[in-house]
Amino acid sequence: MTPDRPVFTHRLSASGSDSPRADAGEIFPYWSFTKTVIAICALRMVQDGRLDLDAPLAGFDFSLRHLLDHTAGLPDYFTLPAYGAAVAQNEEPWSAEALRAATMAQGRLFAPGTGWSYSNLGFMVARDLLEEVAGQSFSDLLQQLICAPLELRSITLAQTRRDFERVHWAAAKRYHPGWVYHGCLTGTAADAARLLQGLFEGTLLDAEMLREMRKSHPLGGVIEGRPWTECGYALGLMSGRAGEAGRMIGHSGAGPFSVNAVYHFPDLSPPVTVASFTDGTLEGVAEHAAVAAALSA
């Protein structure tokens, strides 16, 4: 697929080469790549003995693993017509309590571990758990566990409309990031790529936790308009294959005005990591751009 709009990409190679294709200072919303970051923080806390990955959470019948791989059976708030209408009308975000109640009113989808369904609410619950156990905000955990070790200086948690004023696209200036209830990180394409590269290089998690994070549920094959030839989901990671590029592990994201794809390609020699950002609402455009960049010399 050849995009008909500008795509900002940044390509990193495990050999040490760095091939920027985005203006270094441009800031983008990471959308659901934030889920990968929440999962990294959660698994670091498991590694440190502060959380249990598989024990049922207090007051719930599902575990942290169920939340991180979308097998808890929780519904999603994106299916609420009122949610979409409120975002489109540029309203102020609902309270977390109202959002949770409206989403859960749709009913549980299945018993934990017996099915798979993408749930933004699940990652909202996971973030709340991290903050409660750590006694710190997600923003502080992000800086402590990820940004400081990797020396990532552009990444921040957007919480107000003013925080979105630094985002590349003009449409961002009217959007409230509070509508992304698990949180929406912003930063450069380079720092997104460096974050994911740091994960797979073993800087953020030990070998055992990284293996746990990469355990994937197979979810099918080819998706029309997207580069996937096999699809799966691990812990905060979309995980599958993209034809000749081989395995493709990371996360895509989409909001009302932009999309992104941040992926590691371990089967290439040397392995590469690519972050791609563009406007519009089709994640496949960013994903195809990421694959093309990964395969480029």
pLDDT digits (tens, 9 = 90+) for 106-161: 999 999 999 999 999 999 999 999 999 999 999 999 999 999 999 999 999 999 99
Tell me the CATH class for 7-295: alpha beta
> pLDDT at position 25, please?
84
- Mean residue pLDDT across the chain: 94
Query: Measured between alpha carbons, how far is 90 from 255 in angstroms, rounded to an integer?
Result: 13
Write out pLDDT tens, residues 208-232.
Answer: 999 999 999 999 999 999 999 999 9
**63 strand-pairing partners:** 56
**20 strand-pairing partners:** 10
Whether residue 66 contacts residue 235, with contact meaning beta carbons closer than 8 Å, is answered with no
Quote the pTM value: 0.96
Cis ω on the peptide bond leading into residue 270 (within 30° of 0)?
Answer: yes
Three-state secondary-structure class, residue 178:
helix
Write out pLDDT tens, residues 155-170.
Answer: 999 999 999 999 999 9
> Token pair of 38, please?
């929440």
> pLDDT at position 16, please?
61
